[in-house]
Amino acid sequence: MGINAVEQYLRELKLTTAADDLGEVIHSSGDNINLEWITSLLEREVDARKERKLMSRIKRSKIPEVKSLEQFNWKFNPSINRSRIEDVADLKFVRDNGIVLFLGQPGTGKSHLASAIGLKAVYSGMTVYWTSLKRLSEDIIKAKAKNELSILFKKILSSNLWILDDWGVVSLSREVSEEVFDLLDRRQYSTAMILTSNRDIGEWPEVFVDPVLASAAIDRIFDRASVTIFSGKSYRAAGTKKEDVLNREEVIR
Ligand SMILES: Nc1ncnc2c1ncn2[C@@H]1O[C@H](COP(=O)(O)OP(=O)(O)OP(=O)(O)O)[C@@H](O)[C@H]1O
Ligand SMILES: [Mg+2]
């Protein structure tokens, strides 16, 4: 541990004058000065700040449940394409503002994997914003009433990854549809997206009152999207059959 490590920590902590003058100060105090204690002190400060930033990114992401890829039992619904999900989890699509769609049967793990990937993104330094379509609709109505729609939009569009869970469960009013369309249109320049839905694509236009808006929005959702289909049994309902219990126990063990 030497002067370089101390200088690097000082720069990381944005103590630029201290970093610039370090060499000179050490020289004037006699070059044999022991730097070990100051290195570990600064290291603690850097680590503590990183931890605080991470905690604040986790909180701001509003990811509802802590789930991980390791908790996912791939044997339970073997038709789920593991290697595609692992590709998504390498987060390259986030850097490209890409779209990932997790579509299919209820209870098959779409939200689980979306939160696991969202958390992985947060841990790797990215910002994530999670919302269900229902909550988004409520948030838009509330924000409009308070004249704060641009704040809500900024939260979503300034994050690296927007997770839009449960697409298709609610029908949006015309006012809200237009705002959701605007978000879907603008996000391509700034924000990657994971969208989950258990609704048949044929039912998606029902989310919007206006069919023209519906088809323009659906077009944007499928724009160069990577689609993973989730088929199989609901993990929620599992437990009644012996083989399901055994499959679940593998995860718990
Ligand atoms: N293969 C699996 N291994 C471990 N846990 C699973 C698996 N599939 C689902 N689960 C768990 O089952 C519950 C339901 O899964 P999840 O909410 O991800 O389903 P979903 O596909 O999003 O369903 P919906 O379409 O109803 O929203 C969660 O607690 C999730 O952690
Ligand atoms: Mg879900």
pTM of the model: 0.87
Tally of domains in the chain: 2
What is residue 228's DSSP assignment?
E
Ligand 1 center–CA 112 separation, angstroms = 5
Nearest CA to ligand 1 atom 8: 109
Q: Is the CB of 76 under 6 A from ligand 1?
A: yes
Atom from ligand 1 closest to the CA of residue 73: 3
- Mean confidence (pLDDT) of the chain: 92
144 plus 247 within the same structural domain: yes
Ligand 2 center–CA 237 separation, angstroms = 14
pLDDT tens-digit series, residues 85-122: 999 999 999 999 999 999 999 999 999 999 999 999 99
* Residue ranges making up the domain that contains 96: 62-252
Among the bound ligands, name the one nearest to the CA of residue 237: 1
Mean pLDDT of 141-164: 97
What is the C-alpha to C-alpha distance for residues 92 and 9, in angstroms, rounded to an integer? Answer: 29
Reported in sequence order, the residue ranges of the chain that DSSP labels E, i.e. its strands, are 99-104, 128-132, 161-165, 192-197, 226-230
37 plus 69 within the same structural domain: no
Q: Write the DSSP assignment of 176-226 as a string of letters.
A: HHHHHHHHHHHGGGT-EEEEEE-S-GGGGGGGSSSHHHHHHHHHHHTTT-E
24 plus 42 within the same structural domain: yes
- pLDDT-derived band at 252 (thresholds 50, 70, 90) equals very low
166 plus 198 within the same structural domain: yes
128 plus 231 within the same structural domain: yes
